[in-house]
Amino acid sequence: MILRRTGRGSHVPDVDITAMIDVVFLLIIFFMATAQFARLTRAQVDLPDEAGEPRDEQREPTLIVNLTADGAIVVERQTLTPDRLARMVQAEIARAGGDPAAVELTVRADRSLPASALNEIARTLSAAGLRGVRLATDPTPGGAP
């Protein structure tokens, strides 16, 4: 008995990966756009060079308060007064069910900001109901490029 090989077994099936390539390109565009938006929401401040403390839990901050070198308070690209900041913090506490501990607030203060201005913001946040905030630092020696 002679067995002959037919041409059917040697053919590799074609796999159409066009849809997968489209999805990959859309994901790349999405991540590039969100990275750009995240950079635009931050005010330009020169953070102090400190290693900071390691964080056991990685919670995203509820609110990020930027304090520029001239003492301006910037939250989400809006310049605020201390009273408006206090109202915003009180609204965040109310949104968190009235629990100030549930609000994670990070203060990004410029290194050349006078300490009296930082103390004034701390008093404002304390009067609004917060009992603790995080102060952002730059862990890289010499600052980030």
Our count of domains for the chain comes to 1
d(C-alpha 26, C-alpha 77), whole Å: 27
13: in domain: no
* Digit-coded pLDDT (tens) for 65-90: 888 888 888 888 788 898 998 898 88
106: in domain: yes
Structure tokens at 26: 């859309």
* Digit-coded pLDDT (tens) for 34-60: 887 766 656 677 666 667 666 666 667
| CATH number, domain containing residue 96 | 3.30.420.270
Cα distance from N-terminal residue to C-terminal residue, the chain: 77
15: in domain: no
d(C-alpha 70, C-alpha 136), whole Å: 18
**pTM of the predicted protein model:** 0.60
